[in-house]
Amino acid sequence: MAVAKIDKYPILGSSEVTWPLKSGVRPVMQTFDMAPGDAANLQAMGNKTVSLITDAGSISGLYVLYVGAGDNPYIRRVTLADRRWIWPYKHVRRYFNIRRNIGVRRAVDPSAALEVIPVVGTVAYQSWSLKDTTPGLDASAAKWVAHEAFEEVLNAVLSKEKEWSKNVASVTGLSAIRTLNRLSIENLIINDAGDSAIQRMLAYLPKFDLYINFDGAVVIYDKTDGSELSMLEAGGARMAGQGDAVSVDNANIRPSKMRVYFNYEPEIRIDFDERATDVTHDTRYMQNVLPIPDFSLEVDGETEAQGTYITFDQAFAAWGTPPAGLSGPLTHSYVQKALVPYMGLLAGLEIAGAFTPDADWAARIGALQQHYRRTFKIQRHIMDKISGLKPYRVATVNVATGTRAPAIAYTDYCYLTGQRALFNEARSASRPKSFSYAVNVKGHPARSFAPNNSGGFDSVSESASLPIDEDSKSSPFDVRIIDSDQGVIHLEPNLDPFRLFDSVLPSMMTIEGRESEVDDLGRPIVSGPTADITNRGVSISFDTVGKSHPGSFSKLTANHKVSIILTIIPGAPNDERALYCVEVSPGELSGVLPPNAMQGGSGPIMDIYIGAGIETARVKWDDAKATLIDQIIGIGGDENEDAVAFSEKIKGLVLNDGATGPSGASLQEISRAAAARIYASLVNRVQGEVAVNMNLGLHPTGWLSEVSHTLTQQGVAMTKMSFPEQIRPIDIFSLLDSSTRAIILKLAAPDRSVA
């Protein structure tokens, strides 16, 4: 009959003797019946370790925690634990790869106006949070990687036991995790009790776990290596009546392949043209609108509430004749003159409006100034196909912060120069000097003009949908989403940081009656007043009319056009076609999973959805591919085409379908990682619970997370192995390469130097 002892003191047969090997950071704690005198001797061991000894072998490195009462005065219960019970006594504070901003730099963004280049932070690391704090060292060599940080935390926790008992725990299996050099960490703060600290670090090595073996050593092992079957075979003959375990073939439930779905995040172009006459339901078109400033207003026979967006033509008709001597309602021509500063046309209208209390003309004028050619509403049929609007482009500008390039507006505009610009011009050596107060800029691609008989240029094509190419220059307006449900967009002027210009007008400036005098780009030759008194063809101030041009005021140009490129979230079509699909077969997972986990199956194809918080399918706007991009939101296309076929057709437009880069994390890498975590949980594996003759050589490995060695009250010595019915999928991030992880987690791409 088998017997058991704690050191030299025998364990009573009044209860069975069991010692399990369990993975994780929680200690194994077991209670044994002892004679009172023996229990007292064990209690006196203090910080010395003891061994649990059986005929099959011994379990060492255990500590006596306390002695409790038994069933009668002749029995005491001694509680033993492995060294993990000490781990919570240690508090661990470690900061790993903490980022900091060390200055600013101009972002390389060709889509931004030259005068308004975005500024982003330069990222470095707090040198004290790095593995190597040597000043000037290359950051890539100084950073912690995941396995190094894990070892640092583990050693810190084990130091508590060394401090208390002078015992030093050995650690095995580190060589396996040291191969994971690609797993980087960033901005990781560990400020926890020892067991929690190790548990948090294991999350950065999700394929690995640990347990305490019979020698008291900390064993780190790979859960996905498929070694649990060999452990079952090593157990030998199985005991009758103690359950059974078999290798289960999951081929029938393992998917034959995976379809991984991503949200689309396409850029689309929305156009505005004051002369547009060919707008249909499916035209990506917007209207110039303003919110009703009146408490209520009769519009097209309906009473509309304050704040309702209406077009300017509707507003002019609803407001009627202003109290300022005009013969009828406001017109675009009048507003185009009134919006030129210093003219005073709106001031007179506002003063006259004060004498008509039934209409708030002050609020109306304010709405004119704020929204004319600056606030737009996407037509409803297009908005009905869109789930959301985003005021940015799809390409990532700064990986460290996740900042993206802003949405772009292409429109003509006019700078009103300040004194600094006039001074610079006066001091310049170049001639001639016109000292123009207004500088016209052609920002919209509608720029095709030809010479006429008068020495000027006539428009050949002013279509609002002319292609935007690398020669197109964005305008200095911030695109803001005012109401994403209604599709209301506002353009906010963005002045240059050097203040060479005082303001930006939402179109070019010309002089009434001379609109046709343009250069080869379509810019008005006569753009406004000048300080050059020798130029008798124009006035010397905005509110002065010379003899050579009586009644000719400065005004904004007519037939204004705007094109905006922004990002949308598709809503239509209302099925899986609104998602981008990447197909993955088991054979594509080489290098991600061990060979035994890459087996195919005969189960149905499995669909996996990846949330937008991880990554989206980013589609950059291309005028040449407009028809195809329109199909993403259900404009045109084949209604019978499924998501897989359409994704294959549009694959070349998805910027991040290939390798990870500035345009985003690779959808292929993410799809492979997502498929790998499913296949890893559906491998052919052992399931069930089995008992064999006691064999202390059996231990946790692979997905076998618990092995219990037991001496029953009848003196039978056996070992039980419990194989899980289900396997929890491992973390997707552990299966990604470092560059893809960096994009998704917004990890820093810092200065080379850590100093």
Which of 126-140, 202-216, 316-330, 615-629 has the least mean pLDDT? 126-140
Inform me whether the pLDDT recorded for 621 exceeds 60. Answer: yes
Inform me whether the pLDDT recorded for 692 exceeds 60. Answer: yes
Residue 465 lies in a domain: yes
Asked if 195 contacts 203 with a C-beta cutoff of 8 angstroms, the reply is no
Higher pLDDT, 658 or 182: 658
Cα distances (Å, whole numbers) of residue 412 to 231, 418, 506 = 75, 20, 7
Inform me whether the pLDDT recorded for 738 exceeds 90. Answer: no
Residues 458 and 350 both lie in one domain: no
Among candidates 623, 639, 661, which has minimal Cα distance to 631? 639
Phi, psi (5° rounding) for residue 633?
A: -105, 20
* The two structure tokens encoding residue 569: 């979230």
* Sign of the CA dihedral with 361 first, then 362, 367, and 373 last: positive
Instruction: Report the pLDDT averaged over residues 503-528.
Output: 83
Residues 363 and 429 both lie in one domain: no
Instruction: Report the pLDDT averaged over residues 297-306.
Output: 92
Identify the top-confidence range among 116-120, 454-458, 516-520: 516-520
Residues 456 and 372 both lie in one domain: no
What pLDDT, on a 0 to 100 scale, did the predictor assign at position 470?
66
Q: Helices 738-745 and 667-681 sit at what angle, rounded to 10 degrees?
A: 100
Inform me whether the pLDDT recorded for 564 exceeds 60. Answer: yes
In one-letter notation, the amino acid at residue 100 is R
Residues 372 and 418 both lie in one domain: no
Inform me whether the pLDDT recorded for 111 exceeds 50. Answer: no
Asked if 592 contacts 584 with a C-beta cutoff of 8 angstroms, the reply is no
What pLDDT, on a 0 to 100 scale, did the predictor assign at position 579?
93
Residue 429 lies in a domain: yes
Residues 421 and 348 both lie in one domain: no
Residue 296 lies in a domain: yes
Asked if 423 contacts 598 with a C-beta cutoff of 8 angstroms, the reply is no
Residues 435 and 498 both lie in one domain: yes
What pLDDT, on a 0 to 100 scale, did the predictor assign at position 246?
77
* Sign of the CA dihedral with 373 first, then 375, 381, and 382 last: positive
Identify the top-confidence range among 7-11, 53-57, 448-452, 464-468: 7-11
Give the C-alpha separation, 406 to 466, whole Å.
Answer: 22
What pLDDT, on a 0 to 100 scale, did the predictor assign at position 258?
92
What pLDDT, on a 0 to 100 scale, did the predictor assign at position 488?
96
Residues 292 and 374 both lie in one domain: yes
What pLDDT, on a 0 to 100 scale, did the predictor assign at position 705?
83
Residue 580: band (very low, low, confident or very high) from pLDDT cuts 50, 70, 90: very high
Strand 50-54 versus strand 29-34 pairing type: unpaired
- The domain boundary, picked from 531, 564, 581, lies at 531
Q: Helices 312-319 and 361-371 sit at what angle, rounded to 10 degrees?
A: 160
What pLDDT, on a 0 to 100 scale, did the predictor assign at position 432?
54
Inform me whether the pLDDT recorded for 584 exceeds 50. Answer: yes
Residues 360 and 419 both lie in one domain: no
Identify the top-confidence range among 106-115, 117-126, 188-197: 188-197
Residue 318 lies in a domain: yes
Give the C-alpha separation, 585 to 591, whole Å.
Answer: 14
Residues 502 and 419 both lie in one domain: yes
Residues 357 and 463 both lie in one domain: no
Count of CB atoms within 10 A of residue 418's CB? 16
- The domain boundary, picked from 355, 378, 401, lies at 378
What pLDDT, on a 0 to 100 scale, did the predictor assign at position 595?
67
Q: Express as a percent the part of the chain with pLDDT over 90.
A: 36
- The domain boundary, picked from 320, 353, 378, lies at 378
What's the chain's average pLDDT? 83
Q: Which residues of 142-159 are buried (b: 16+ CB within 10 A; e: fewer)?
A: bbbbbbbbbbbbbebbbe
Inform me whether the pLDDT recorded for 755 exceeds 50. Answer: no
Residue 327 lies in a domain: yes
Residues 453 and 360 both lie in one domain: no
Asked if 20 contacts 707 with a C-beta cutoff of 8 angstroms, the reply is yes
Instruction: Report the pLDDT averaged over residues 304-328.
Output: 88
Rg of the chain, C-alpha, whole Å: 38
Give the C-alpha separation, 48 to 658, whole Å.
Answer: 59
Give the C-alpha separation, 226 to 211, whole Å.
Answer: 17
Strand 617-619 versus strand 258-273 pairing type: parallel
Residues 365 and 434 both lie in one domain: no
Residue 390 lies in a domain: no
597 DSSP assignment: G
What's the structural domain count of the chain?
Answer: 2
Instruction: Report the pLDDT averaged over residues 201-229.
Output: 87
* The two structure tokens encoding residue 113: 């106006």
What pLDDT, on a 0 to 100 scale, did the predictor assign at position 315?
94
What pLDDT, on a 0 to 100 scale, did the predictor assign at position 465?
61
Instruction: Report the pLDDT averaged over residues 43-67.
Output: 91
Give the C-alpha separation, 710 to 20, whole Å.
Answer: 8
Which of 254-258, 447-451, 711-715 has the least mean pLDDT? 447-451
Residue 300 lies in a domain: yes
Inform me whether the pLDDT recorded for 533 exceeds 80. Answer: no
Domain of residue 296 covers 286-378
Inform me whether the pLDDT recorded for 358 exceeds 70. Answer: yes
Asked if 489 contacts 480 with a C-beta cutoff of 8 angstroms, the reply is yes
- Give tens-digit pLDDT for 438-485: 888 888 887 545 555 555 545 545 555 677 766 677 888 999 999 989
Give the C-alpha separation, 636 to 93, whole Å.
Answer: 58
Inform me whether the pLDDT recorded for 113 exceeds 60. Answer: no
Inform me whether the pLDDT recorded for 754 exceeds 60. Answer: no
Among candidates 409, 428, 419, which has minimal Cα distance to 493? 409
Higher pLDDT, 544 or 76: 76
Residue 309 lies in a domain: yes
